[in-house]
Amino acid sequence: MVAAADRIASRGGIALVLGSGVALAFAPVTAKLAYEQDVHVATLLTGRFVVASVLFWIVVVALRRPLPPAAGIVRGLVYGAVFYALQALLLFSSVDRLDPALAILLLYLFPALLLLPSVALGRDRFSWRRTAAIPIALAGVALVLVGPGVGAVDALGAALGLGAAVAYVAFVLAGDYLATGTDPIVLGALMGTGAIPTFALYGALTDDLSLDFEPAGWIWIVGVAIVSLVAFTLFFAGLERVGPSLTGLLSTSEPVATTIASAAIFGDRLTAVQVAGGAIVIGAVVWVNVSQSCRAPLRHRRRSETL
């Protein structure tokens, strides 16, 4: 009975994580639809996080999720204002200049980039197998950007996408300290709340904060916020059921789903070379996560043998 229940929980967790990937895939696509209504990047992100934060706090109150101590609240707000906001700003600025599928493929370089700083900070073990994933992923990115027959790719948009991948590495590493011990839904509410002043300040400094856009733009601003809430909730619900390694592996569904959604809505098509490059990047991510999954049972077995 226990084994059967575990299998059901595992299947449910897999479905939740895959659902999160599909929901996240629509965030850049929805953002692109907002940009077509003359919504600026700062306006989109400020509106997105205002709406998302309100929704998150409603869920926190409805589910009676406990708030962390004052220090935890401050950490969550800083986490959102600095690390989450920087990653989101770079990614959605990239989406403004590139196809959503291409921007997400560049973002997904981050699992390979995460290895070396994690080892340097003592948060992971060095592995030649996983280290090999770094040049493999970079080769895939090179094919996506400058491969034969690819044509001109917006250089600034590509740089912003790669910057988003680096910023995501910082976001993950900072999370070990700033997000520890906080309920995931509460953390989402705190991060969203903390990010709002950052985007508002950015918009004020760059004159990018404007309500002078088509009325339909509001639909897509709210849409991005709802997609974010759904994706975040599904992700952490799935994470609790299947663990971090399988969650990381299943999260590679996001760039695939983004490519399909972008093609269906905008008619965007990656070239065969870009598809091959994207497959290499995703393959490198799978390589990293499979390596982690294989080590986890071994560590557990060794601990059991010492008891």
User: pLDDT band at residue 303, thresholds of 50, 70 and 90?
Assistant: very low
Give pLDDT tens digits for 79-100: 999 999 999 999 999 999 988 8
pLDDT value of position 288? 66
pLDDT value of position 1? 43
pLDDT value of position 237? 78
Tokens standing for residue 200: 């508002």
Q: What is the 3-state secondary structure (H, E, C) of the chain?
A: CHHHHHHHHHHHHHHHHHHHHHHHHHHHHHHHHHHCCCCCHHHHHHHHHHHHHHHHHHHHHHHCCCCCCHHHHHHHHHHHHHHHHHHHHHHHHHHHHCCHHHHHHHHCCHHHHHHHHHHHCCCCCCCHHHHCHHHHHHHHHHHHHHCCCCCCCCHHHHHHHHHHHHHHHHHHHHHHHHCCCCCHHHHHHHHHHHHHHHHHHHHHHHCCCCCCCCCCHHHHHHHHHHHHHHHHHHHHHHHHHHHHHHHHHHCCHHHHHHHHHHHHHHCCCCCHHHHHHHHHHHHHHHHHHHHHHHHHHHHHHHHHHHC
Q: Is the pLDDT of residue 153 over 60?
A: yes
pLDDT value of position 304? 30
Q: What one-letter code names the amino acid at 34?
A: A
pLDDT value of position 86? 96
Give pLDDT tens digits for 210-254: 889 999 999 999 999 999 888 888 887 787 777 665 666 677 778
Report d(CA 204, CA 291) in Å as an integer: 45
- How large is the average pLDDT for residues 291-299? 49
Mean pLDDT is lowest, of 24-28, 107-111, 202-206, for 107-111
pLDDT value of position 166? 93
Helices 133-146 and 100-107 pack at an angle, to 10 degrees, of: 160
Report d(CA 205, CA 208) in Å as an integer: 8
Report d(CA 106, CA 95) in Å as an integer: 11
Residue 289 in contact with residue 57, Cβ under 8 Å?
no
User: pLDDT band at residue 291, thresholds of 50, 70 and 90?
Assistant: low
pLDDT value of position 302? 34
Residue 189 in contact with residue 57, Cβ under 8 Å?
yes
- Most confident among 26-40, 104-118, 141-155, 226-240 (mean pLDDT): 26-40
User: pLDDT band at residue 290, thresholds of 50, 70 and 90?
Assistant: low
**Tally of domains in the chain:** 1
Domain range for 37 is: 2-306
